[in-house]
Structure 1
Amino acid sequence: MRDTTLGGRLFRGAAVTLLVAFTALPLYWLLVSSLKPDSQLGDTSLIPTSITLANYGAAFDTLIPRWMLNTLGISLLTTVLGLAVAALAAFGFARYRFRGRTVLFALVLASLAIPEYATVIPQFTIMREIGLLNTWAAVVLPLAANALVLFLLRQYFSQLPEELFDAARLDGCGEFRVFWRVALPLVRPGLGAAGLLLFLNAWNAYLLPLVMLTDSSQFTMPVGLAFLHSQLNFSVVQQSPWGAITAGTVISTAPLLLCLLIMQRQFIKGLTTGAVKA
């Protein structure tokens, strides 16, 4: 039974407060560090003695604005392409009966157990052979093939009653029109959750862009920030880039937090509604 006593409520409140504080502390420390002068970046105090926006100016003097555009473009393209491919494949797995369907879907799920490090070399070889290295396509195409998104959308399509599709076919709808006009509008929560998963995965991707992109102007934010850090380690630059790195990290994190705050209800609804098959 749920504990409704005063002591139970206080305990739950304290636990939630500690959890929130533990989770938010690194973000707060990052924000504070981005506002400190270079001379105070080594200071671990959580309350800065002085505040400056010079780090953000230094960040915009680097390739960070270009990296942000690259990251945004790659993430949006990955989301659109990934949703298109996953929705069509999920609809086929959910609504059609064909030989080998179970085996094919099992192989799709089994791909979730393969670590990214095991697939990056074959993907690199393929992209090199077809001449796509150092282009957005070399990053977008592998990221768009997301088995988890396909599984999530398949669960949604499986819950739709067959009578809807039979009625649409009787009205003269072709198979693609049944998919586009009948099935797709009914799985909007799932599409929202799947799209957010694809976007976050592409935005935070590090290994694949690191391998596929060789020109610094084509880097994404995670790779670009690591590139600035390497310049610090190898003393390539005379001035410490730590201020630009902390400011760039804040700039990179802010869109994700905003996106999650705006879409959190739809995201949670999308995950929970499609979590079980009716």
Structure 2
Amino acid sequence: MIPLSLPGRLATWAFVGLVTLICALPLYWLILSSIKPVELLAQVSLIPQQVTLQNYAEAFASPVPRWLFNTVLIAVLTTALGLAVATLAAFGFARYRFRGKTVLFALVIASLAIPEYASVLPTFAIMRELGLLNTYAAVVLPMAANALVLFLLRQYFTQLPAELFDAARIDGASEIRVFWSVALPLVRPGLGAAGLILFLSSWNAYLLPLVMMSRTEEFTIPVGLAFLHSQLNTGYMEISPWGAVTAGTVLSIMPLIICLMLMQRHFVAGLTAGAVKS
């Protein structure tokens, strides 16, 4: 790689700074709006003339805390179940030979091309027949089956040397022991990246929770905020929906920002390490 000259480095940093500013401006505007009085929300100003926490008080007086709890619980359950299913399936696809393996894996990859809105009605019908509508399971079970996560983890397991597993079997380890004690510790970066993908996708899910949950107290935060927005002109709620929407949106994205900041290095390392088969 050719080192950049001083003007080149300055131009690069200026470009990076400009892109960062453009990306951060909507977030700053959202946080700014959440601490403005409702009557000043339409005012265009980068510096608040009046600061208030009334919007957050209204958010906590609304069902936002319950929606946040639902979202956290669904995201954690989806991540845990999704990792359990994906690691076992990925290990089987990567390390074992069985009839129909290529066809089955091709079907898994092909499922990535199916848009969510095309599969939500069959999923709804299945959950209705199982009696799981308006339960966490109706959202967790479909989202835990993530083909992208399975593919990512399969790439990791494929890169592991076969001699490690052969040596463990010679020492008397069972297949479960080989999987738990040999394979899983070696794919921890991939597990971190896969877990973050599952957590973020389940946290931001909108269509599936919207279809599966019909009671207000069971909404997730994306569905709940859309519900609050729909009440702006109805006068149905005793609080100001605009204030609750702005504050609730900030509360909903802060956990994701913190999670990404803490896991960024592991996430990037996990994606890049498993991206290319050696």
Matched residue, 1:78: 78
**In 1, are the aligned partners of 2:169 and 2:178 still within 8 Å (CA)?**
yes
Q: Spell out, residue by residue over 1:225-275, the C-alpha distance to the aligned partner (whole angstroms, 9 max, x if none).
A: 001011114332365310110000000000000000001000000000000
| Counterpart AA for 1:146 | N
**In 2, are the aligned partners of 1:3 and 1:9 still within 8 Å (CA)?**
no
- How far, CA to CA, are the matches of 1:66 and 1:190 in structure 2? 32
Q: Which moved more, 1:5-14 or 1:17-26?
A: 5-14
- How far, CA to CA, are the matches of 2:141 and 2:207 in structure 1? 14
**Which structure 1 residue ranges, 5 or more long, are not aligned?**
none
**In 1, are the aligned partners of 2:206 and 2:222 still within 8 Å (CA)?**
yes
SS for the counterpart of 2:231 is: helix
| Counterpart AA for 1:273 | A
Matched residue, 1:45: 45
SS for the counterpart of 2:232 is: helix
1:20-35 to 2 correspondence within 5 Å?
20-35=20-35
- How far, CA to CA, are the matches of 1:269 and 1:78 in structure 2? 22
SS for the counterpart of 1:99 is: coil
Following superposition, which runs of at least 4 residues in structure 1 exceed 6 angstroms of deviation? none
- How far, CA to CA, are the matches of 1:274 and 1:238 in structure 2? 51
Q: By how many angstroms is 1:6 displaced?
A: 2.0
RMSD: 1.0
- How far, CA to CA, are the matches of 2:44 and 2:101 in structure 1? 56
Q: Return closer, same or farther for 1:85/1:93 CA change in 2, 3 Å cut-off.
A: same
Q: By how many angstroms is 1:3 displaced?
A: 5.4
Q: Which moved more, 1:207-216 or 1:228-237?
A: 228-237
Matched residue, 2:201: 201
**In 1, are the aligned partners of 2:67 and 2:221 still within 8 Å (CA)?**
yes
**In 1, are the aligned partners of 2:58 and 2:239 still within 8 Å (CA)?**
no
1:119 aligned to 2:122?
no
- How far, CA to CA, are the matches of 1:153 and 1:259 in structure 2? 21
- How far, CA to CA, are the matches of 2:195 and 2:61 in structure 1? 32
Q: Spell out, residue by residue over 1:41-84, the C-alpha distance to the aligned partner (whole angstroms, 9 max, x if none).
A: 11121211010111000000000110010000000000000000
1:223 aligned to 2:223?
yes
Matched residue, 2:93: 93
| Counterpart AA for 2:134 | N
Q: By how many angstroms is 1:134 displaced?
A: 0.4
Q: By how many angstroms is 1:202 displaced?
A: 0.4
1:5 aligned to 2:31?
no
**In 2, are the aligned partners of 1:89 and 1:150 still within 8 Å (CA)?**
yes
Matched residue, 2:268: 268
Q: How many residues matched?
A: 278
Structure-2-length-normalised TM-score: 0.98
- How far, CA to CA, are the matches of 2:188 and 2:238 in structure 1? 52
**In 2, are the aligned partners of 1:71 and 1:220 still within 8 Å (CA)?**
yes
**Which structure 2 residue ranges, 5 or more long, are not aligned?**
none
| Counterpart AA for 2:173 | C
Q: Spell out, residue by residue over 1:176-231, the C-alpha distance to the aligned partner (whole angstroms, 9 max, x if none).
A: 11101110011000000000000000000000000000011010000000010111
- How far, CA to CA, are the matches of 2:65 and 2:57 in structure 1? 11
